[in-house]
Amino acid sequence: MRQGTLDKRRFGHRARLALSPAEVSKADGQAHAARTLWNLLHAWWRMMPKEKRTLANADAAIRQAREDIDFLAVLPAQAAQAVLKTYFRAWKNCWEHRADAPNFKGRFRTVMSVDIPQGRDLNIVRVHRRWGLVNLPKVGRVRFRWTKDLPVGRRAGVENRITGARLVKDALGWHIAFRVQRLEVKPEPHQGPDVGIDVGVTVPIALSDGQTYEHGEWLTAKEKAKLLHLEQRAAQRKQYRKPGERTSHRLHRTYDQIAELRAKAKRRALDWQHRTTTAIARTYGTVVVEALTITNMVKSARGTVEEPGKNVAQKSGLTRSISGEAWGRTVTLLTYKTAQLGGTLVKVPAPGTSRRCSACGLTVPGSRESQAVFVCKNPDCGWSGNADHNAARNVLHLYRTGLALVPAAGRAVVRRAKRVKPAAAR
């Protein structure tokens, strides 16, 4: 893996494709063929006895299906083999208790995608500063948006290369996700200061040094009004649809317009998260975050018929806000960006960080007077300040006292770690 001070780094890069209507039709046909092939493979798996569920038998069944069904011939052979490998990997993840068992893929509920496992089939060429050309099997030579330097050409070397790609379609059109491998110099340890981070809804990211990162609405007022109008139109058209009746083309078109606006908001949110996490990773050497169980925080409060929940509407609004902030994605971005720049990311226990005073260390009921203000009710303290900054300071304090969450046997345990003082502080 390592050659001196060099490390192999694998990452992905997603770019927008500029396809003509004919090329869009070809890409759609390949995606539908890949989904159909998955469903046929799953039906074959359920039909065959256990002793015959082997990779060789599945490969023979796929080859026979591609000969018998003309519709599957639009899918390249390498992409068909990628479907087979992905299906067997899904069962392996299920057996190792990392995911649920694979199931049939629906036409409208499945992300349309096609895998290109061989990087040499792409033949990428940069046209000019903004656009590049890539070869898509059975689609042709198409343009894509060049927003990042890719290792192409003779100057890239043997170790720096593109190992494959995947075509993905969302509400904004077709994109290509490159799998890139680079040989980079191992980063030196980051000499920046330590910082604690508290994530929230009102203030998305608050740092222990008093800095905050906030954002506005992801959609403009005009776009929000249009989204509301489309949702009302969809609800009205759905009201007149009889049970069991197929969805009309007009309703499908309305759903597509709604998905396009929501995808635009998601793209803007992801761009803000990338910019924010990059700035944090470049500034600080050690980033400390809370180990939040987000899946439990966004569970519905509806309850059951025997024991109905309380404040269901308020809880659903909070759940939407938490899901919209995507705290887990923020931690994921910080994890690999800090490692790439020589820093580290540490998780500490979350309970009590927002209710504990960062000055005296005591938890007194009623100290958090509102969502934004924290006033310590300890008579000997009386510290007051921003509630989010107070929680971020508590998060950093837990790390400095040696508390860290270390994964062990599928669960997180608290471990006290010895911190080595910097050379300047010795």
What number is the average pLDDT over the span 366-373? 73
pLDDT bin (cut points 50, 70, 90) of residue 150 is confident
Tell me the domain boundaries of the chain. Answer: 2-19+115-185, 22-109, 189-216+257-426
Res. 377: pLDDT tops 80: no
Predicted confidence (pLDDT) per residue in 51-106, tens digit: 888 889 999 988 888 888 888 889 999 999 999 999 999 999 999 998 899 999 98
Band the pLDDT of 234: cuts 50, 70, 90.
Answer: very high
**Helix or strand or coil: residue 198?**
strand
Model pLDDT for residues 18-43, shown as the tens digit of each residue: 999 999 999 999 999 999 999 999 99
Strand partners, 373: 386
Highest mean pLDDT among 266-280, 353-367, 397-411: 266-280
Average pLDDT, the chain: 83
Q: Report whether pLDDT(277) > 90.
A: yes
As given in the structure block, the two tokens for residue 322 are 């938490």
The Cα 204–Cα 213 span in angstroms is: 7
Neighbouring C-alpha atoms within 13 Å toward the C-beta of 181: 12
Q: How far apart are CA 118 and CA 137, in angstroms?
A: 10
What's the confidence (pLDDT) of residue 141? 93
State residue 317's pLDDT score. Answer: 73
Q: Phi and psi for 420 in degrees, rounded to 5?
A: -90, 125
Residue 134's pLDDT is 93
- Short-list 273, 264, 271, CA closest to 223: 264
Average pLDDT for residues 202-214, to the nearest whole number?
A: 87
Q: pLDDT category, 411, cuts 50, 70, 90?
A: very low
Model pLDDT, residue 417: 45
Question: Rg of the chain's alpha carbons, rounded to an integer?
Answer: 26
pLDDT at res. 386: 81
pLDDT given at position 87: 92
How would you class 188 by CB atoms within 10 Å of its CB: exposed for 0-12, middle for 13-18, buried for 19 or more? exposed
The pLDDT of residue 244 is 79
CB 281 within 8 A of CB 343: yes
Compute CA distances 180 → 12, 15, 165, 185, whole Å.
6, 13, 9, 16
**Rounded average pLDDT over 379-394:** 82
Is the confidence at residue 2, as pLDDT, over 70?
no
Q: What are phi and psi of 309, to 5 degrees?
A: -80, 170
Please give the residue that has the higher pLDDT: either 50 or 405: 50
pLDDT digits (tens, 9 = 90+) for 177-205: 999 988 888 888 888 898 988 888 888 88
- pLDDT at 408 (0 to 100): 39
pLDDT for the residue 121 = 84
Which H or E element spans position 34? helix 21-47
pLDDT in tens, 125-142: 988 889 999 999 999 999
- Residue-wise pLDDT for 279-320, tens only, equals 999 999 889 988 877 777 666 666 555 666 666 666 677 777
Instruction: Give the pLDDT confidence score for residue 3 in this predicted structure.
Output: 45
pTM, two decimals, is 0.80
Question: In this predicted model, what pLDDT tens digit does every residue of 253-263 receive, in sequence order?
Answer: 999 999 999 99
Name the nearest CA neighbour of 181 among 161, 157, 204, 152: 161
Mention every residue, 6+ apart, whose C-beta is less than 8 A from residue 44: 58, 61
- Structure-token pair, residue 165: 């790609």
What was the pLDDT predicted at 260? 92
Residue 362 pLDDT greater than 50, yes or no: yes
pLDDT at 418: 44
Confidence of residue 394 (pLDDT cuts 50, 70, 90): confident
For residue 17, pLDDT over 90 is answered with yes
Which pLDDT belongs to residue 389?
Answer: 85
